[in-house]
Structure 1
Amino acid sequence: MTLSMFQRDRIQRQKKLHEERGDHCADIKLVGGLGLSNFVMKKGVFHPDEFAAIWLARWLVLNNGLYTGKEVMDIGCGTGIQGIVAGLYGAARVYFGDVSTLALENTQENCAQYGILDKVEIVKSDLFEGLKKRNADMIIFNHPFFDAKPTPGDTIEMAMLDEDGKIFRRFLEDAKPRLHPGGTIVMPFFHFAGETNDPGRHAAKYGYDVQVGFHHEHLSGLQESVSIYLLRSLEHFRK
Structure 2
Amino acid sequence: RMATAFDLQIGSLNLRLFKPSLEAMGGWLDALNGDAEDNEASELQTWINPWDSGLFSHMCQWDLTGLRVLDVGCGLGLAGVVAGLRGAASVCMSDRSKTAVELALEACRANDVTAEVNGQVSDWADPDSDPAPAGTVDLLIGNEAVYVCQAIPNPSDSKPEAPDHHSVRGGQSYCASAASTAQ
Using the size of structure 2 for normalisation, the TM-score is: 0.68
Matching of residue 29 in structure 1 with residue 31 in structure 2: no
Distance 1:23 1:170, change over 3 A: same
Query: For the residues of structure 2 that align with 1:28 and 1:164, how far apart are their CA atoms?
Result: 28
Give deviations 1:5-61, integer Å, cap 9, x for gaps. xxxxxxxxxxxxxxxxx9543221111x4221x32122534311xx234x3222211
Aligned partner of 2:48 in structure 1 is 46
**Secondary structure at 1:110's aligned position in 2?**
helix
Query: For the residues of structure 1 that align with 2:151 and 2:14, how far apart are their CA atoms?
Result: 36
Q: Say how many residue pairs are matched.
A: 149
Contact map agreement 1:144 1:161 (CA 8 A) in 2: no
**Secondary structure at 1:73's aligned position in 2?**
strand
- The match for 2:162 among 162, 171, 188 is 171
Name segments (4+ residues, structure 1) moved above 3 Å: 167-170, 191-194
Distance 1:139 1:92, change over 3 A: same
Contact map agreement 2:93 2:119 (CA 8 A) in 1: yes
Distance 1:141 1:68, change over 3 A: same
**Secondary structure at 1:105's aligned position in 2?**
helix
Query: For the residues of structure 1 that align with 2:151 and 2:79, how far apart are their CA atoms?
Result: 26
Matching of residue 61 in structure 1 with residue 60 in structure 2: yes
**Secondary structure at 2:165's aligned position in 1?**
helix
Matching of residue 96 in structure 1 with residue 96 in structure 2: no
Using the size of structure 1 for normalisation, the TM-score is: 0.54
Distance 1:125 1:167, change over 3 A: farther
Query: For the residues of structure 1 that align with 2:10 and 2:161, how far apart are their CA atoms?
Result: 31
Give deviations 1:126-161, integer Å, cap 9, x for gaps. 11624244621110112555xxxxxxxxxxxxxx22
Superposition CA RMSD, Å? 2.8
Structure-to-structure mapping, 1:50-129, within 5 angstroms: 51-53=51-53, 55-62=54-61, 64-65=62-63, 67-116=64-113, 119-127=116-124, 129=129
Contact map agreement 2:91 2:117 (CA 8 A) in 1: yes
Report the identity percentage. 23
Contact map agreement 1:124 1:130 (CA 8 A) in 2: no
Aligned partner of 2:138 in structure 1 is 137
Query: For the residues of structure 2 that align with 1:41 and 1:34, how far apart are their CA atoms?
Result: 19
Structure 1 window deviating more from structure 2 (183-192 vs 102-111): it is 183-192
Contact map agreement 1:68 1:89 (CA 8 A) in 2: yes
Contact map agreement 1:77 1:83 (CA 8 A) in 2: yes
Q: Which amino acid aligns with 2:131?
A: L
Q: Which amino acid aligns with 1:162?
A: C
Higher relative contact order (CA 8 A, sep 6+): 2
Contact map agreement 1:144 1:162 (CA 8 A) in 2: no
Larger radius of gyration: 1
**Secondary structure at 1:166's aligned position in 2?**
coil
Contact map agreement 2:87 2:115 (CA 8 A) in 1: no
